[in-house]
Every structure is written in C-alpha cells, then in structure tokens.
Structure 1
Amino acid sequence: MERPSMRRHHPSAAFVVLLLALACTGTLYAAFAPTSKAQADATARSLTVEEGRKLFNVGCASCHGTSGQGTTDGPSLVGVGAAAVDFQVGTGRMPAQQPGPQVLDKPTVYSQAEIDQLAAYVASLGAGPAIPTEEQYSPEGADIAKGGELFRTNCAQCHNFIGKGGALTHGKFAPSLEGVDPKYMYEAMLTGPQNMPLFPDSTLTEESKKDIIAYLKVVNGDDSVSPGGSELGGLGPVPEGLFAWIFGLGGLIAVAVWIAARTGKVRKP
C-alpha cells in the first residue's frame, strides 16, 4: 500500500510569509526602538521656540514688532542673540516699565524657563551671541591682577575704577556692578546693552572677560578692604575732593583763625 503524498504548498506561500515577517519586524522596531537624540533635540527646540513666540507676541511685540523687526517704540531684535534676551529680561530691564533715557533694572517678570523660551525665539530670528555657559563666566582660577588692568583700561571711565558706577550724558548713567551675577556681567560685555560698547571675543577674549569678572568680585566682595583707608563710597575724585574742601581746607581756615586770635592777644598792651 502506497503512503499518502505530502500536501503541496502554493508557490507564493514563502513570499507571503517573508512579507509578513518583514512587516512584523518593522512594526515592532517602530514601536519599541528609541527616538534618535538628534530628532528629540530638534523637536524640543521647535517646541521651545514656539512657546517663546507666544510669550513674545504677548509681552514684546507691541514695541519690537510681531517678527522682532522693531518699531518706533523699540529696536529690532533680529541678530541680537539669546544672550541679549537673557540679560535684558533676566535683569528685569525688559519689558520696560516706562520710556526714558535709560531702562532701569527691576524684579524679573518671567521665570527662567520662560526667559529661555523667549531667548530661543529671538535667536531663531537671526544669528547672535548665545547664552554663555557657567564654565565661560566663572571667575574660578582667573587672573585678578590682569582683570583689574583690563577693567581700568576699558571700563573704569564709565563704571568707576572699582565698578561703583557713574553719571553719563543726557540723564544716562553707568550702573553699579556691585552684586551683579557673573553671567550678566559676561552677557553685558558680549552684547553691549544700552550705552555700553560691544566687547566681542575678538576685542576681549573669553579669558579676559573672566579676569574682569574675578577682579570685580574681589573689589566688591564682602571681605574687600580699601588699601588707602576709607573709600568714601568708592566714587572717585568727587567725594575725595569734597572731603578735602570741607575738612582739609576748613581745618586750615580754623587753624589760621586760631593763630590770628592768639597773636592778637599776645600783642595787646
């Protein structure tokens, strides 16, 4: 008796099985494989920029324009970079409280997360200085003596020789640098806010900026000591000259009057 023959498969069965296997493999990979870091970062940046755009339209567009192009009430922000936004908004200067010769610092309106979103949106409008890292502005290991020399050469004519600030023209002034966060000092040198000139890395290197910050932290620190005695507010020759006129010249006049009075008493018959 013959054995029953094996059931024959359709000729396309192997091809169908292969297609099903490939489809299952692709589905499982798409479901469980992690998204690439670059794609995740790009998505996060897009979301940050979009949130920044919303904040900008509410709090900034009325002065700077809906696309940051500037208006008669505010300058263009195209190309100012994220560092300028972080400085202006982080120090409370923006949004401006009222128009005037100079925008004053005040308590911040936005959280740091919102400032980062605004900075990301403005940075997307045009290339500009990025927000510095802590490694860039940290005064740790900097040359304090060199920083003092650089500060007196480039900054003291406005900010005073130890950063106490000073008056400028037309109601403007150079603010005091006492207690200012090192990050904001670095960003100010990098972006040149308001009346301050720009000091890009081609003018003052990253190391030079750190040296200046280190010098200011020392001369305005809690344990700082004036080598010449009382600093009289550290405001330079104005209070020193006033002290000389009032106490120095006043003392000389008092001595002269006393001598004259004594001489008159001696010559009296």
Structure 2
Amino acid sequence: MKKLSARRRHPLAALVVLLLALAATGGLYAALAPAPKAQADDSAQSLQITEGKKLYSVGCASCHGMSGQGSTDGPSLVGVGSAAVDFQVGTGRMPAQQNQGPQVQKKKRVYNQGEIDQLAAYIASLGPGPSTPTKDQYSPTGADMAHGGELFRTNCTQCHNFVGKGGALTDGKFAPSLKGVDPKYIYEAMQTGPQNMPSFPDTTMPQDAKADIIAYLQEVDSAKSSNPGGFTLGSLGPVSEGLFAWVFGLGTLIAVAVWMAARTTKAKKS
C-alpha cells in the first residue's frame, strides 16, 4: 500500500493516467466510429441534395414553392419520394408547360439522368416516400407472366385496355399507352399513382407482383405485331373478332336481303 501511495504521488503519475485515458478514448472511437465508406456515402448524398436543391430552385420552385410545400400552381412535394420525381421528370411530364389542358402529357425530358437523381435526392430529403426502384425490382426476368396478366386484367384494363393500348377517360383525360414504356417507369407509376392513376404500394401490390405485370406487358407488346385472327379489334382475342364478323357480317347480309326483296316487290307492282 505504501508503494502504491508513493507511486500516486510520483510527478509522472498524472501524465501516465492521461495517456491511458487518451488510449482508451481512441480505442473506443475506432471501434464505434462510422466506417470511412459510410462517411463517404453520406458526403455524396449530401452533395446530391445540395445540387438538387439548386436545380429545384430554378426549375420547380415557381410552382411547388421554395420548400416543396406546394402552391396554387402545383401540389406539395413533401412525402412524394424519389420515385415520383424520377417518373415525372424522367418522362418529361415535369417541368410542365403552360396550358397543358386537362392532363400533363409525356414529352422530351429537360434534365439528364444525373440531374434527375439530384432532384430526386432533394425531394426525398423533404419527407419519406416511395424510393426509386432498383433494376432487380422492376426486371421481368423470372417473373410470372400469367399471374401478371391476371393482375393487369383485374386492376388496369378498365383504363389501359387489355394489352395496355390506353383509353379515354372523362373530361378530356386519358390513360396513356404502355407500349414501349421503360419497365422502371411502369413500376414507378404503380408505386406513386401519377395524375388519374391509383397507387399500388408494396403493402397493396408486392414487388414481385409488379414485376409480373411488367413481364405480361412486355409479352403482349412483343406479340401485338402478329395477330392470328386478323384485325386486333382492341386485342380482345379471336372471340371478339368472330363476334364482330358474325354480327356485322350477318347484319349486312340481312340488310342486302331486305333491300333486294323490297326492289323485287316494287318491280312486280310496277
């Protein structure tokens, strides 16, 4: 005990304790501090948000407000998520032109994909929402095309037609054709429900089901060039084509027969 007390009073005792404390602190920091890659990722994300905010201030704030809160000219963007931005800006629907009419239409996009990613990162920072899907999520590889057809006929044909040709809605609005649309944008449309379309989040329609629908659309799109029945007639299948031939063909024959009978009767009377 006397030796321990003597060491405590040694002039270098305080320095030794300080060094031990610093070593312990350094060890704890090394064990608990974020990894360099995580720090680099955070830095890159912050840079994207900063650049996205600059783009937003120039091209979007006049309608959606300086903080995305919305205005009389545009809805709030808080909580729409990066998927909505990638869809709307990637398809050229946003920024919208003046006098768009009842519905904003697809056009040539203004921003490149890098700028779109920056805008999406900024909007995503305003509030949680659907995120931009990865290629693995929307890829139709290995998807169940038959199941996708069932889902599409149940949820989508009322507006988009049985094979995604699109169709008219009320008040001058319309469901666009899905022919040749990038699978990513189809997936994002189901996620976010743009304009007149209802949304189908993962809680309602899982990721696999969305991929199944995309697989079905790609299959019917590739098959539309060959119509074994002849005319497409809405691509409803050979039954609709046969019914068309029966109703209109038979109707034409009946009309011709009535006309001939009337002509014959008139000739006999004269």
Tell whether the structures are fold-level matches, with TM greater than 0.5: yes
Q: Is there any run of 5+ residues in structure 2 with no aligned partner, and where?
A: 1-11, 20-34
What is the Cα deviation at residue 244 of structure 1? 7.7
Higher deviation after alignment, 97-106 or 115-124: 97-106
Counterparts of 2:124 and 2:236, CA distance in 1: 38
CA contact (8 A) 1:218 1:224 kept: no
**Aligned equivalent of 1:8:** none
Counterparts of 2:261 and 2:177, CA distance in 1: 45
Structure possessing the higher radius of gyration over alpha carbons: 1
2:259 to 244, 257, 260: 257
**Aligned equivalent of 2:47:** 47
Structure 2 counterparts to residues 216-235 of structure 1, below 5 A = 216-221=217-222, 224-226=225-227, 228-232=229-233, 234=235
What is the Cα deviation at residue 252 of structure 1? 3.1
Which has a greater percent of helix?
A: 2
Counterparts of 1:185 and 1:48, CA distance in 2: 25
**Aligned equivalent of 2:93:** 93
Confirm whether residue 180 of structure 1 aligns to residue 188 of structure 2: no
**Aligned equivalent of 1:137:** 138
CA contact (8 A) 1:164 1:235 kept: no
Counterparts of 2:54 and 2:245, CA distance in 1: 55
Identity of matched residues, %: 65
What is the Cα deviation at residue 264 of structure 1? 6.7
Q: Is there any run of 5+ residues in structure 1 with no aligned partner, and where?
A: 1-11, 20-34
| Alignment TM-score, normalising by the size of structure 2 | 0.79
Q: Which amino acid aligns with 1:189?
A: M
Aligned length: 238
**Aligned equivalent of 1:74:** 74
**Aligned equivalent of 1:189:** 190
Q: Which amino acid aligns with 1:63?
A: C
CA contact (8 A) 1:191 1:199 kept: yes
What is the Cα deviation at residue 233 of structure 1? 5.0
Report the CA distance shift for 1:115/1:251 in structure 2 as closer, same or farther (over 3 A): farther
**Aligned equivalent of 1:38:** 38
What is the Cα deviation at residue 69 of structure 1? 0.3
SS at match of 2:216: helix
Structure 2 counterparts to residues 92-131 of structure 1, below 5 A = 92-98=92-98, 99-131=100-132
Counterparts of 2:55 and 2:189, CA distance in 1: 23
SS at match of 2:222: coil
| Alignment TM-score, normalising by the size of structure 1 | 0.79
